[in-house]
Amino acid sequence: MRRFLAACFSLAIAAAPKAFGDEQSTSPYATAADFAKYAMKLREQALLKVEPQVFIPTSSHPAIQRYPWKMSIVTTVFWVGEQAGGNNPVPNYRSSWDLNWSDNYGGTDNPDPSSRRNYIPIAFVPHQNPFYCALPYNDVTHGQFKPEAPLVIPWFKQTYTAPGQSVCRHHWVAIRKGNRTCYAQWEDCGPFRTDHFQYVFGNERPKPNLNHGAGLDVSPAVRDYLGLAPTDVTDWQFVEVRDVPPGPWRSYGENNHFVIARRQSEQKLAAGGTGAAKK
């Protein structure tokens, strides 16, 4: 069934506009909405034709198998508070999802190795996870989900909370260089593009750009953990929270699932202790 659905989805992608933005498209589907209707029709037809099958997990962590590795992706370094210049046309005081990213992070995530210790800046403890990254897709535009978002984002249904509330933001990504793997949260969109779902969720390669076709931006913390050059090559894949192993990426951040869970546990323990004392 998965192979049949994948084939139908590939046909839909082939017919889709090249970008959902200001670029012109040669697709017979003039708008993203037309493409979304077509893809949904293919999906319904596939579900009717394919007989039900029983899937038996062969691993204790089947979620990792859901998302394939993107291999040999040109990777560049960016940071919260980065100024515009060179091949970075847009300053990073704000992100695609946070107009006050720099303030909410706690300041500029200074990439200078002499200004960092234990993966965070010396000057302050960040309020958000210092292990972050950017991918060239934004699921939201003008406060609404893009038409293709529910169709192409694998976890859309499971993580949907409200109209126009990004389901991509904060999602975890595994990034691999050699025999080391780092884990980071998706916190911004880029490099350069915010519409390339065919690469982020499909089988296309990143588009050519000023940074040698870069398809992934990573934070200084990720750079330091993996020992990356300013422009390097890595592999990456999406992962679920339950598949993120212990590491420095679990330590900081109000947006960090592990920090949130730890605080909630501490609050429950404190509340239990207070109740016991009253008795």
Q: Which tens digit of pLDDT belongs to each residue from 229-269?
A: 999 999 999 999 999 999 999 999 999 999 999 999 999 88
Positive/negative CA dihedral, 155, 159, 161, 166: negative
Residue 5: inside a domain, yes or no?
yes
**Residue 271 vs residue 93, higher pLDDT:** 93
Does the global pTM surpass 0.95?
A: no
Residues 33 and 84 placed together within one structural domain of the fold: no
Residues 90 and 227 placed together within one structural domain of the fold: yes
Domain count, the chain: 2
Q: Is the peptide bond before 191 cis (omega within 30 degrees of 0)?
A: yes
Residues 199 and 179 placed together within one structural domain of the fold: yes
**Separation between Cα atoms, residue 270 and residue 147, nearest integer Å:** 45
Averaged pLDDT of the chain: 84
**Which among 56, 77, 103 is the end of a domain?**
56
Q: Which tens digit of pLDDT belongs to each residue from 79-128?
A: 999 998 777 778 899 999 999 999 999 999 999 999 999 999 999 999 99
Residues 213 and 78 placed together within one structural domain of the fold: yes
Residues 219 and 95 placed together within one structural domain of the fold: yes
**Separation between Cα atoms, residue 141 and residue 164, nearest integer Å:** 8
Among 141, 138, 230, 238, smallest CA distance to 188 is for 138
> Domain range for residue 18?
1-56
Residue 235's H or E segment, with its range, is strand 231-239
